[in-house]
Amino acid sequence: MGDYSYEPTVVGFHEKLEKLKEEGKQRAHNFFKDLAPEHWANSYFKGMCYGEMISNAAESFNNWIKEGHNLSITQIVDTIRTQLMQQMSKRRDQANKWNELICPTFEIMLLDSFNNRKSWQVSKANEDVLKVHSIPSVTVDIARRTCSCFKWQINGFPCDHAVISIQKSHYNLNDCVEHYFHIETYRATYSGVIFPIPSMKKLPFDPTDFTIYPSTVKRPPEGRKRIESHQGVRN
C-alpha cells in the first residue's frame, strides 16, 4: 500500500488515490476504495501507531522459530519459551547499560534531525505555537505535541518541523518525545522473567504432594445382601 498508507493527511491520501486512478490502475483503486482506511491508512487511523504500518514483527517471529515448525506442539512451545527467555534476558542486560533518556536508535535520529539545520524560517506566536515557513508552511504546537503536517501526532516522535521549532523555544527536545521511545519503557517491556522448566517430557513430581483415597462405596442393606446371595446360589 506504500505511499497511500503512510500519507499523514486526508487531503494527501485522496490526492494519491486519484493519481493512482489517473494512471490507469483502476483495479488497484477499486480494491483500495472498498477497504476501511482507518484500518490501514495513517491519515484516518485514530490511535497512535508509532510509525509502524507493516507486519514485519510477526514475519520475523515466524522466521525466528522456523527450526521448530516440524516439531510436536509441546516441543514448539518449549522452543519458543526458551528463545523468549534468552531474548528477554539479553535485552534486559543490554538496556541496563544505557544511560540516556531515549533509546539509542531514536537518540541518533533526534541528533541527526537536530544537527540537520534546514533553511526554514520560524515565526513565533508564543513560546508554544510557532509557524515553520517550509513548503507548505506548517504550524507547530509544542505544548500539545502537534504539527499540522500530522507526522508528530502519528509517530509520537518529533518531525523535522517540530525539532526546528523546539530549537527556537525553551523546551527540551528529549521531553517532547513520547514515553514509548524512552529507555525506561524499554526496560519495563523486558522486566518480566521467563523461568526454565526442568524437563519438557517429564515434569518434577513429588508423591507426597498428592494423596489418592479409595472411592467411597455404600454398603447395601442386610436384606438386599441375603437376596443377592440366594440368587447367586440358584444361578
What would the pLDDT profile of 180-197 be if each residue is shown by its tens digit? 899 999 999 999 988 887
Q: In what order do the strands lie in the sheet with 146-147?
A: 121-124, 129-133, 138-141, 146-147
Q: What band does 233 get if pLDDT is binned at 50, 70 and 90?
A: very low
Query: What pLDDT does 7 receive?
Result: 75
Residue 50 φ/ψ region, left for φ over 0, alpha for ψ in the -120 to 50 degree band, beta for the rest: left
Is residue 143 situated within a structural domain?
yes
Closest CA to 16 of 138, 8, 160: 8
Residues in the chain: 235
Tens digits of residue pLDDT in 92-127: 999 999 999 999 999 998 888 877 767 889 999 998
Higher pLDDT residue, 32 or 220?
32
Is residue 113 situated within a structural domain?
yes
Is residue 66 situated within a structural domain?
no
Full residue range of the structural domain in which residue 13 is found:
1-46
Q: What band does 209 get if pLDDT is binned at 50, 70 and 90?
A: low
Q: How many domains does the chain have?
A: 2
